[in-house]
Amino acid sequence: MTETCYAKGQKVTLVTSQIKNGTWLCKFSISGFRDLDGGLHGQASLNGHKTEWEARTDAFQRAKLFLDGSQGIAQGHPLERA
């Protein structure tokens, strides 16, 4: 399933899928950011989430964190990575 959201004025595309064990994964892409892995940023949990909603929420939160870091770069501050 694909869903479009907006964060900090940027278009965020969430791509959700269910894996064999019944859990959910979600990747995100942000318009204008080509440095993300193949246009999609990997999911945080390789084991997946119990619900589709949890997977999408996690991916959207990670997208917002990415945008927070990218604004620091635009303003001359380095991107902090966890």
pLDDT of residue 31: 85
Is 52 part of any domain? yes
pLDDT of residue 42: 55
CA atoms within 13 A on the CB side of 53: 0
Cα torsion at 13, 66, 39, 54 (round to 10°)? -50
Is 80 part of any domain? no
Is 13 part of any domain? yes
pLDDT of residue 48: 84
Is 65 part of any domain? yes
Is 47 part of any domain? yes
Is 34 part of any domain? yes
pLDDT of residue 40: 54
What domain range is 21 assigned to?
2-74
Is 81 part of any domain? no
| Mean pLDDT, 10 residues at a time, the chain of 82 residues | 91 92 92 60 68 93 87 46 36
Give the chain's domain count. 1
Q: Please name which of 31, 80, 26, 29 lies closest in space to residue 55, comparing C-alpha atoms.
A: 26
pLDDT of residue 17: 93
